[in-house]
């Protein structure tokens, strides 16, 4: 316990030190939360172990209440004769005669309620809902019935039931060393043809009247003046497939549209990541007095060489290569730059295209200054994107970490909870 407390205090002191020094120590707020959760869990387990040690010295083992069963307790013992581990099976507490009578009464009330729930106005019309234990499992029950139509598990063979019949149920109840017999009668009433059990009983009787030597049964056309329509289970599978096809017709395009949106978003993020470096290289070449077509050509050629060597694909530079090809093919700079901005489809590239087209059309000496200003904004955008990606990565890492922590908690706490349950 003291080790857990000291570790927690040390963690708190280190946190206070980093906060005072205005440092992060490589930890974000979420990671600090995980650290403190681990520390608090360790402290809780240490306290539990301390209480367990305190209990071990009391020399008493608590028994479970009747119906809860026995449990095995592992102990450490030390003496001048023997020192080591021992294993004891602690039985549940036996009930007294007074408690047994109260539990028998509770069990009989539960049995009466279960039988009453399955009875109609004229008697029992469905299988009996019986159990082999009552009164929270403290009273064991063994059932017997005077009529073979009722099985020991409460299932009723309605084909064996002719007219209404009175059945006696005999329930042997036991609670610890005490036993009691509980008997009661109930009426079996043949189910109405409007219920499943009654209809199956009527149908079976109708079919058994037919010639058993024939190779088929002729299903009846009516019952009680009402016509019957028959079909085999599963014959509507074609309809189900048709509905599935209709659902697929709607779902597949929606899924494709969602996937296209995801791909478009990913492409836009990659274009934004490429934008600062493209802009930086343009500023460098234009600042050196190199014209726009040649600057674009040099940047695109450098990217092509890197792509051949490393196999990298950068969508922003792909657009720049397309611009270089259009300029080389003799397409006017205004048209090529407009194609460049529209092909990207995001505001950063459209803004760059507009700046370059305005300079080509109107001229002026402030292009470099405006591009440098745009480069500063682009670098800030790049930093924000890096922070966002870092936070997303941290969140994604946090989920598996919490899963691992949950597994550790289960592995460590489960034995302690079993011990505590055993003590209770």
Written as tens digits, the pLDDT of the chain (424 aa) is 556 556 656 666 666 655 666 655 444 555 556 565 666 666 566 655 555 554 444 567 888 887 777 888 888 888 778 888 888 888 888 888 898 899 999 999 999 888 887 665 457 777 788 899 998 888 999 999 988 888 888 888 766 676 678 889 999 999 988 999 999 988 877 666 666 767 776 777 777 778 788 888 878 877 766 777 777 765 555 556 666 666 776 777 788 888 888 888 888 888 888 888 888 888 888 888 888 889 888 988 988 888 888 888 888 888 889 888 988 888 888 898 889 888 888 888 888 888 888 887 776 667 888 888 888 888 887 788 778 777 777 777 777 777 777 787 777 777 777 766 655 5
Q: Residue 233 falls within a domain, yes or no?
A: no
Other beta carbons within 10 angstroms of residue 114's beta carbon come to 15
Q: How far apart are CA 140 and CA 51, in angstroms?
A: 37
Task: Point out the domain boundary residue: 36, 58, 90.
Answer: 90
Task: Point out the domain boundary residue: 63, 90, 117.
Answer: 90
Which tokens belong to 88?
């004891």
> CB within 8 A of 126, min separation 6: which ones?
118, 156, 191, 195, 197
9 shares a domain with 79: yes
Which tokens belong to 404?
């691992």
28 shares a domain with 144: no
Domains: count for the chain: 3
The boundaries of the domain holding residue 122 are 98-203
295 shares a domain with 191: no
Q: How far apart are CA 267 and CA 20, in angstroms?
A: 42
Q: Residue 214 falls within a domain, yes or no?
A: no
pLDDT at 27 (0 to 100): 46
Q: Residue 215 falls within a domain, yes or no?
A: no
Q: Residue 405 falls within a domain, yes or no?
A: no
Q: How far apart are CA 392 and CA 399, in angstroms?
A: 11
pLDDT at 143 (0 to 100): 92
Write out the chain in H/E/C secondary structure. CHHHHHHHHHHHHHHHHHHHHCCCCCCCHHHHHHHHHHHHHHHHHHHHHHHHHHHHCCCCCCCCCCCCCCEEEEEEEECCCCEEEEEEEECCCCCCHHHHHHHHHHHHHHHHHHHHHCECCCCECCCCCCCCEECCCCEEEEEEECCCCECCCCCECHHHCCCCEEEEEEEEEEECCEEEEEEEEEEECCCCCCCHHHHHHHHHHHHHCCCCCCCCCCCCCEECCEECCCCCCCCCHHHHHHHHHHHHHHHHHHHHHHHHHHHHHHHHHHHHHHHHHHHHHHHHHHHCCCCHHHHHHHHHHHHHHHHHHHCCCCHHHHHHHHHHHHHHCCCCHHHHHHHHHHHHCCHHHHHHHHHHHHHHHHCCCCHHHHHHHHHHHHHHHHHHHHHHHHHHHHHHHHHHHHHHHHHHHHHHHHHHHHHHHHHC
316 shares a domain with 276: yes
Q: Tell me whether residue 165 is exposed, middle or buried, using C-beta atoms within 10 angstroms of its C-beta: 0 to 12, 13 to 18, 19 or more.
A: middle
Q: Residue 232 falls within a domain, yes or no?
A: no
103 shares a domain with 85: no
Q: Residue 68 falls within a domain, yes or no?
A: yes
Q: Residue 246 falls within a domain, yes or no?
A: no
104 shares a domain with 18: no
278 shares a domain with 391: yes
362 shares a domain with 279: yes
318 shares a domain with 274: yes
376 shares a domain with 272: yes
Task: Point out the domain boundary residue: 35, 62, 90.
Answer: 90
86 shares a domain with 26: yes
275 shares a domain with 382: yes
Spatial contact of 133 and 139, defined as CB atoms under 8 Å apart: yes
Q: Residue 423 falls within a domain, yes or no?
A: no
pLDDT at 54 (0 to 100): 44
């Amino acid at each position: 316990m003291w080790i857990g407390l000291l570790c927690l205090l040390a963690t708190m002191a280190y946190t206070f030190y980093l906060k005072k020094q205005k440092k992060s120590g490589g930890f974000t707020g979420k990671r600090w939360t995980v650290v403190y959760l681990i520390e608090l869990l360790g402290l809780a387990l240490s306290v539990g172990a301390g209480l367990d040690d305190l209990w071990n010295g009391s020399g008493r083992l608590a028994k479970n209440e009747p119906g809860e069963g026995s449990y095995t307790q592992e102990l450490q013992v030390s003496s001048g004769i023997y020192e080591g581990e021992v294993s004891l099976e602690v039985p549940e507490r036996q009930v007294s005669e007074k408690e047994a009578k109260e539990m028998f009464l509770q069990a009989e009330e539960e049995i009466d309620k279960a039988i009453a729930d399955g009875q109609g106005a004229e008697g029992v019309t469905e299988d009996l809902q019986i159990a082999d234990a009552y009164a929270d499992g403290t009273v064991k029950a063994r059932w017997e019935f005077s009529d073979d139509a009722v099985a020991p598990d409460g299932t009723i063979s309605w084909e064996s039931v002719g007219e209404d019949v009175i059945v006696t149920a005999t329930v042997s109840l036991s609670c610890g060393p005490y036993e009691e017999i509980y008997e009661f009668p109930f009426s079996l009433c043949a189910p109405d043809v409007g219920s499943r059990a009654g209809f199956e009983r009527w149908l079976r009787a109708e079919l058994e009247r037919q010639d058993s030597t024939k190779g088929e049964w002729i299903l009846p056309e009516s019952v009680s003046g009402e016509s019957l329509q028959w079909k085999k289970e599963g014959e509507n599978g074609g309809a189900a497939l048709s509905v599935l096809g209709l659902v697929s017709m709607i779902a597949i395009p929606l899924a494709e549209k969602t996937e296209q949106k995801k791909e478009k978003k990913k492409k836009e993020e990659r274009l934004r990541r490429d934008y600062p470096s493209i802009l930086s290289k343009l500023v460098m070449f234009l600042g050196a007095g190199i014209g726009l077509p040649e600057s674009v050509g040099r940047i695109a050629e450098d990217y092509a060489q890197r792509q051949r060597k490393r196999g990298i694909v950068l969508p922003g530079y792909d657009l720049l290569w397309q611009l270089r090809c259009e300029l080389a093919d003799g397409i006017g700079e205004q048209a090529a730059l407009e194609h460049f901005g529209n092909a990207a489809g995001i505001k950063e590239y459209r803004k760059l295209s507009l700046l370059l087209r305005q300079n080509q059309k109107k001229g002026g000496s402030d292009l470099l200054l405006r591009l440098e200003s745009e480069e500063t904004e682009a670098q800030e955008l790049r930093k924000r994107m890096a922070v966002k990606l870092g936070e997303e990565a941290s969140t994604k890492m946090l989920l598996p970490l919490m899963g691992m922590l949950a597994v550790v908690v289960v592995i460590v706490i489960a034995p302690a909870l079993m011990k505590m349950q055993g003590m209770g």
